[in-house]
Amino acid sequence: MRKLIVFNLISLDGYFVDRKSEMSWAHSKDTEFNAFAENNAKGGGVLLFGRITYKLMESYWPTPLAIRNDPLVAERMNNLPKVVFSRTMDKPAWNNTKLVKGDALVEIRRMKQESGIDMVMMGSGSIVSQLAQEDLIDEYQIVMVPIILGKGRTMFEGIKKKLRMKLTKTRTFGNGNIFLCYEPVKK
């Protein structure tokens, strides 16, 4: 059985995107943190995205700028298999991408039953909250960035039940970022 891991950066006040639905505040020029991100990208997996996050990633990672600024991460992002969940998209343009127009929960349940490499979902807050509500996420990897946005969106909007978590790993970076890894507490 495959694991589903969520990896997201959040602000100190809990937002994964700002009031304009942007994440430029999350980019770091910190060598230590960038080395961590590159090493974390080596783990690979099938990348899962909602349409909005997919479009954001697709607009950056295949570009010469991304390849110049973050060559290892760009190589991984561009070559790993990707799945985008969208009812409105016609055809994905980013290589190695499968489009799923049906129910994301049904598809992810099916994918979790398969053997193979783990799946990693980035961004995609509305899907993350649906998956969390259905207990389909096996691990939450959160990087807390020391910035207060005041307004934005959380990854857990719409959650209707309490979800207990167990802290499994932490790491603090010189730039103030804190990596937090949680697993759901099984009932």
- pTM recorded for the entire structure: 0.91
Q: What six digits make up the tokens of 79? A: 């070559």
Give the mean model confidence (pLDDT) for residues 27-34.
79
State residue 37's pLDDT score: 76
CATH assignment of 4-184, among 3.40.430.10, 2.60.40.10, 3.20.20.20, 3.60.15.10: 3.40.430.10
Average pLDDT, the chain: 91
Residue with the two structure tokens 């998209």: 89
% of the chain beyond a pLDDT of 90: 70
Single-letter amino acid code for the residue at 72: L
In this prediction, residue 90 has a pLDDT band, given cuts at 50, 70 and 90, of very high
Q: What is the pLDDT of residue 138?
A: 97
Residue at token pair 């307004």: 151
Taking Cα atoms as reference points, which of 179, 182, 180 lies closest to residue 165? 182
Average pLDDT over residues 93-106: 94
Q: Which residues pair with 165 in a beta bridge?
A: 184
**Whose CA is closest to 83, among 63, 107, 106?**
107
Q: Which of 29-38, 73-82, 110-119 has the lowest mean pLDDT?
A: 29-38
